[in-house]
Structure 1
């Protein structure tokens, strides 16, 4: 067992370290976190507008009255992610005025965005084309991948021109705000001009736009692949595996999968506005809400709430009991570092199997619950990962079935862990 663990660590940990320290993944993670408060606000509106005990007419009324809370936040998430990428990329490259990189990145994305959209009639045919207007879906889920790609490219180009000295230096007597604006002038014009020419080529020669090209060729296939059951199981495996060696698996893995989960979450939020039937027919199972609520939401990475509860109640070893009691309160809010380092789970080969196996089995159960229709799909509301179990399941799905699914998951996780905890407890008690 030890030789096998050493072999895995030698092969995988160097790759995980590279991913964890990757500048671009760190920037992307920080950009998503920049939008987190806005997403949470929009999520609260989604939950309120679609509470299961509202009548259909009341849901429509609330949607008309409070729908802007979602439209101005969650539905425009690509705007905030683009700003964040430009800002944090400039910070990573030690550019003094990062805000200019942020607005240039956003402007580059908008340059490539069509300022028109088709309005469809009841039969799905184009009834009119609205011009001089932006389609909200291009600023949200549908434009997410283009926004990420363009923002990185625009930020890198802006930073390159700035570092190469293509700046206008003003006398010291000029107010700082004016001087900084002139310093950013040439890099901003140069960057945006390239994207404007690119848009003209794609539009004029190929009679299309990069939004549709990226969405159909890259985003749609990759999102489907990245949020499939096998991909989800792989992501959970690496979260658990990396944590076993003391690396923050959640941070490393989320940096790779976050765009897929966020995109699906935004899609579900838009479908929720159209009604429960649209969500049930066209919604996604694996979303950011799904991952936060039905994996981390069961007690933190590894879903260890039931583990610390069993440690505090049924284990005989006093040390394990104390660790369980100490870890129970933070575990309720899905913070489980006390048990990860207190049991310990890190580098403890005797519990490697349940640590790895239980979350994988749990997420498969959750996936089947949604795929079978027993549990309604997540509405697109992003429930905070610190929300206690059962409450989070209800809020994510607007259904008590979400809470019941969490209960089933917890029971299964407990059954997987129980024999291993008894074995560890018996061995340590006998050694006293």
Structure 2
């Protein structure tokens, strides 16, 4: 099958699905909600790179580096660290706007509902909301809470359960009172859900979600099959708006770090490295090529084949952060989340890279990771070189993986770019 026929086949299969999904009000609100948060995400990503610049601690000393990180930390803490907040408000706002309601109240009621369902205890101190719950960890709960809260708010408004103020009352006051009963009814429903869950072993809805996701992961081991399953789960979680890396790492990190330490001891002793799958295998040869999903390849492809203004702008904005393995601008800007046009390469590419990396190491073409912890913001090529104990083969392997991922993404990104380009032309 030649290139044009393959592209036509992809278009015939994926475009009708994409069109249906793009016309779905919930997915549209989800996409537009992430767009609300995108400028803040990009800002935070830039400062994450600046605050974690590789090897800066060795250049300026640990004490100066700690002070430097402390000074820059609030930039990412107040944006990336609580990005769920902005997404939730954006979804509630956009969904309510779709129905022609008071969009700002849809946004704030969604956020208030989410806070009601969020654990409010930190290290035994009550009345404190962990910031991690407001970020990527709380995203899954936040998305569905925003949908339900906006729908409930719309339902009560359409039932006309509102307070009517007399003529002559300022419009801002009148709107506040009209929203009072719908907001009260909506948030009361979420209070009842919280109370019900407080009588379960999970205590809160957020704990329930994390428990049912994490427990199955603990049964996985550290071989190639298990690693492929973990990589697949990471990509699937991300596609649905969950921070896949946080979820899988929280379960697998103890296993991966233990294997990493075994390799480090063997490397220092000059004996054979016992493990291939380690923490650095994941961090350097998967995440270390542009972040989760190895999206540095996507950025490079954008510069090569991108025609649409939207894709070019995303590439320019995402490139500086992507070079240091921070890829939120691409994940939320392309977007990756709930985008059927990129589902196949998003899931397939890291799995193929995992198999290539493992095969290269098990056959002796590339040394396994030496157990050296390379800073996660170290750019690709240098990252692979250092992770394998200064072996040039590690750098070459990273380059091969980047090229393979580019090849997998190429037809799908071209189709996405064509879609954006035609939309831009019709909008003129």
Asked whether the two chains share a fold, i.e. TM above 0.5, the reply is yes
Query: Are 1:103 and 2:108 counterparts?
Result: yes
> 1:42 maps to what in 2?
44
> 2:92 maps to what in 1?
86
Among 245, 251, 257, the residue aligned to 1:264: 245
Query: Are 1:164 and 2:159 counterparts?
Result: yes
Distance 1:177 1:227 in 2: 53
Structure 1 contact 294–406 (Cα < 8 Å) conserved: no
Q: Do the aligned partners of residues 163 and 376 (structure 1) sit closer, same or farther apart at CA in structure 2, a change above 3 Å counting? A: farther
> 1:317 maps to what in 2?
none
> 2:130 maps to what in 1?
135
Structure 2 contact 54–375 (Cα < 8 Å) conserved: no
Distance 1:86 1:186 in 2: 17
Distance 1:11 1:173 in 2: 57
Among 79, 82, 95, the residue aligned to 1:76: 82
- For the aligned residue pairs, the C-alpha RMSD in angstroms reads 5.0
The secondary structure found in structure 1 opposite 2:118 is coil
The one-character-per-residue Cα deviations of 1:279-328 (angstroms, maximum 9, x if unpaired) are 9479875699434733311222xxx83x89xxxxxxxxxxxxxx9xxxxx
Deviation at 1:138, TM superposition (A): 1.3
The secondary structure found in structure 2 opposite 1:187 is helix
> 1:62 maps to what in 2?
68
The secondary structure found in structure 2 opposite 1:184 is helix
> 1:30 maps to what in 2?
32
Q: Do the aligned partners of residues 283 and 208 (structure 1) sit closer, same or farther apart at CA in structure 2, a change above 3 Å counting? A: farther
Number of aligned residue pairs: 324
* Structure 2 unaligned residues grouped into runs of 5+: 221-226, 251-256, 262-277, 319-343, 362-367, 388-393, 410-428
Superposed, 1:201-240 pairs within 5 Å as 201-204=196-199, 206=201, 208-218=203-213, 228-230=230-232
Q: Do the aligned partners of residues 283 and 132 (structure 1) sit closer, same or farther apart at CA in structure 2, a change above 3 Å counting? A: farther
Q: Do the aligned partners of residues 413 and 156 (structure 1) sit closer, same or farther apart at CA in structure 2, a change above 3 Å counting? A: closer
Superposed, 1:299-314 pairs within 5 Å as 299-300=301-302, 305=304
Among 146, 168, 175, the residue aligned to 1:173: 168
Distance 1:280 1:154 in 2: 40
Distance 1:103 1:164 in 2: 20
Structure 1 contact 167–182 (Cα < 8 Å) conserved: yes
Structure 1 contact 140–266 (Cα < 8 Å) conserved: no
> 1:339 maps to what in 2?
none
Q: Do the aligned partners of residues 14 and 160 (structure 1) sit closer, same or farther apart at CA in structure 2, a change above 3 Å counting? A: same
Superposed, 1:111-122 pairs within 5 Å as 111-118=116-123
Structure 1 contact 294–366 (Cα < 8 Å) conserved: no
Distance 2:113 2:140 in 1: 14
Structure 1 contact 77–140 (Cα < 8 Å) conserved: yes
Distance 1:80 1:332 in 2: 23
- Using the size of structure 2 for normalisation, the TM-score is 0.60
Q: Do the aligned partners of residues 226 and 68 (structure 1) sit closer, same or farther apart at CA in structure 2, a change above 3 Å counting? A: farther
Distance 2:194 2:156 in 1: 21
Deviation at 1:229, TM superposition (A): 4.2
> 2:335 maps to what in 1?
none
Among 18, 21, 46, the residue aligned to 1:19: 21
Distance 1:147 1:206 in 2: 21
> 2:292 maps to what in 1?
290
Distance 2:53 2:408 in 1: 35
Distance 1:22 1:334 in 2: 28
Deviation at 1:406, TM superposition (A): 6.5
Distance 2:200 2:89 in 1: 30
